Amino acid sequence: MEIEQKQAEIIGQLVDRASKCSGESMVLPYDNLMVELDVTNVRQLEDFLNNECMYDGIVRGKLDQLKRCFEVPFAAGRDPRPGELGDMLHALSNL
């Protein structure tokens, strides 16, 4: 799936919200994510979250098909720690 500008903005919002949860996991219902990301089925959503978000290290999370939600315990903060900038730039350049 090719990432579009709207999807990139949604990822940015996801990272921002998750990084502010101060140690608590954020639970995002599949239905809400599907609407926001403009995808039509669960397979597309899970592929997007795996390939564009988790694989690149932007977020860590658990896809729960039974509860139809994405649990996010970690998201890369907007301000990288020293030494992380190179990895973050590499991950973002692959989007």
Summarised one tens digit per residue, pLDDT across range 23-71 is 566 888 899 888 888 889 999 999 988 888 877 777 788 999 999 999 8
* pTM (two decimals): 0.62
Nearest Cα neighbor of 43 from 68, 25, 18, 21 is: 68
DSSP string, 2-34: ---HHHHHHHHHHHHHHHTSTTS-EEEEHHHHH
pLDDT, position 42? 94
- pLDDT at residue 1 greater than cutoff 50: no
Give domain limits for the chain: 5-93
Q: Structure tokens of 33?
A: 């994510």
Q: Which helix (H) or strand (E) holds 72?
A: strand 69-75
pLDDT, position 64? 94
> Is residue 80 helix, strand or coil?
coil
Summarised one tens digit per residue, pLDDT across range 53-64 is 877 777 788 999
